[in-house]
Structure 1
């Protein structure tokens, strides 16, 4: 009987020793009270001024095995999230966006940024995922990056790498997402890209210097009626008459006339309408009829001595 009483008294003493007055702590090995799972800090049973503080919303921690555990021991339930800088709660990790799922074991609320983009921790919207290529931006559907307006190519997905988007030639523009230089359209509607795509020139049958400003007056003037020019022509004199024996005159507007030493009416196609003067005869440019005449000559008479 006495033995039984002693055992019961001993168990009561042990229970008293192992009981924690801090309801958020549990006695560990040796009877020391440590904070429970989901809490951090130091039990009031260890330090009167201490406390086992509940982990921030959406986080959890394992049962402590030592005193003085920090809030950083509380990990976010969403694997793609981490504690905010002030430890007040969870935020999506860098290169993710969304709202962390606070429920342990649930689907993540943080989605990875599109390929080739990055974002700082705490990003809530996909539009905050910035393309690594500084000359690129997100597509309209936010599925990835594309070259910005007035650039062309394929964005470089690697941060810090050389851009894969090249600026359109001066005086031309392109819609966002353009992949080839040929998508860069000259701002002057009467001009087009040179064969090497390096700049804008007046189109065939125009002459001048293209206006680089979008919406401005054209700098390329149509060649006179009935004349043609190759792309890139800058002066009216390079507008050629279809009749190879004719050339533009100086009238306003200029028209085709037979060249010097020819006469007739230039043709727009087919055989020339300008006939050559007979050998040794000349005619002024623009002669419509046969006014050819022998070239004037001068003779020298030497007096006899």
Structure 2
């Protein structure tokens, strides 16, 4: 009987020692009531105004061994998440995105941002992960960073570092994701990048200044037909005729045979010339198309019909045409003639019937008067 009484008394004492008024607390060493696992704060058994409060949804805490544990002792079940600033719940950590998994031990609901990107805590979508390189943006599939449109290179993954994406040369553009400057295409369709890729210039066989504005009228004009120019030409005078014996007209509209040549220029580069030199000793103005326009320097001479033609004195002149200075062709005396090409004085009086008729008429008139 005494033994039974002692046991009951002992159990009552133990129950009294372990009993906590706060149902979310358990008596610890010395009988002090501390908050259970999954709770934080100070039990009402320690402080009348206290209470052990449940950790925010999706978080947990170990059983307290001291009073006054903070809500920050509650850790998110998702290892890639942390408490919000107001401690009201969990959110994905900085540089992660998604919705935290509230179930302890489950797969994370927070995915790391793509390499080279960063995001603030609480980011829900991958599109909020911003590339560290300010001249880069996420690819279409959000798998990583690429240089933005009109830039080229490889984005720098390190935040705060120098950009790895260089702007395309002025007047050119490139699609997002371009890695080389050669992907930058000039906005003017008649222009292309210089050899050093520093700027746009008019293409070969064009001249002018490229229009830097996309969709605008070209600033590069095609060289006149039959002429060509090196890339980068800025003036029409840089367009050289393909026929070496021809040159641009004064108005630069087309190619014509040079002075002292005649014919039609060959428009094909490397082909035989279409402009033939005037016969020796003759000249012609630029643009002459027929041999007959090749003039002898001696104003009293002209070309004959020989092959090749040469200068000869005109009809009613005789002598040897000169190439400079005074004429070498002397005019026949008045009333005399000479055929074209006369080298010596073969001038003679014109042979006509009037030489014989006039005396006869005079004789007949005299006889009539006598009658």
Class of the TM-score when normalised by the shorter of the 2 chains: 0.5 to 0.7
CA root-mean-square deviation: 15.8
Q: 1:157 to 1:236 in 2, by over 3 A?
A: same
1:59-112 Cα deviation digits (max 9, x unpaired): 999999999999999999999999999999999999999999999999999999
Q: Per-residue deviation at 1:277?
A: 0.7
How far is the alpha carbon of 1:210 from its aligned partner? Answer: 0.3
Note the residue ranges of structure 2 that are not aligned, 5 or more in a row: 147-201, 360-370
Identify the match of residue 303 of structure 2 among 240, 243, 248. 248
Deviating above 3 A after TM superposition, structure 1's stretches of 4 or more consecutive aligned residues are 1-146, 299-305
Q: Secondary structure at the match of 2:127?
A: helix
Where structure 1 has 5 or more consecutive residues not aligned to the other structure, the ranges are: none
| Whole-Å separation in 2 of the counterparts to 1:278 and 1:2 | 183
> In the alignment, is the contact (CA less than 8 A) between 1:133 and 1:156 conserved in 2?
no
Give the structure-2-normalised TM-score.
0.43
Distance 1:211 1:84 in 2: 82
Deviation at 1:299, TM superposition (A): 3.2
* Helix, strand or coil at the partner of 2:30: helix
Q: 1:141 to 1:49 in 2, by over 3 A?
A: same
Q: Does the CA-based 8 Å contact 1:37-1:60 persist in structure 2?
A: yes
- Relative to structure 1, the CA distance from residue 148 to residue 215 in structure 2 (aligned partners, 3 Å threshold; closer, same or farther) is same
Q: Contact 1:186–1:200 (CA<8 Å) still a contact in 2?
A: yes
**Which of residues 277, 283, 293 is equivalent to 2:338?**
283
Report the Cα offset of residue 236 of structure 1: 0.6
TM-score (ref. length: structure 1): 0.52
Deviations 1:246-302 (A, max 9, x none): 001011111110000100001111110000011111110000011111122233999
SS of 2:45's equivalent?
Answer: coil
CA shift for structure 1 position 157: 0.9
Which range is displaced more, 264-273 or 103-112?
103-112
SS in 2 for 1:237: helix
Distance 1:303 1:208 in 2: 54
RCO higher in 1 or 2 (8 Å CA, sep ≥ 6)? 1
Do the aligned partners of 1:55 and 1:74 also contact (CA within 8 Å) in 2?
A: yes
Instruction: Report the Cα offset of residue 158 of structure 1.
Output: 1.0
Deviations 1:134-167 (A, max 9, x none): 9999999999999110000011111111111110
Q: Relative to 1, partners in 2 of residues 1:31 and 1:194: Cα closer, same or farther, differing over 3 Å?
A: farther
Number of equivalenced pairs: 305
Larger Rg computed on CA atoms: 2
Alpha-carbon distance between aligned partners in 1 of 2:84 and 2:270, rounded to the nearest angstrom: 50
Alpha-carbon separation, structure 1, partners of 2:353 and 2:131: 84
Specify the SS of the correspondent of 1:302: helix
Could you give the per-residue CA deviations for residues 189-208 of structure 1, whole angstroms, max 9, x where no partner exists? Answer: 00000011000000011100
- Quick one: distance in 2 between partners of 1:74 and 1:284? 128
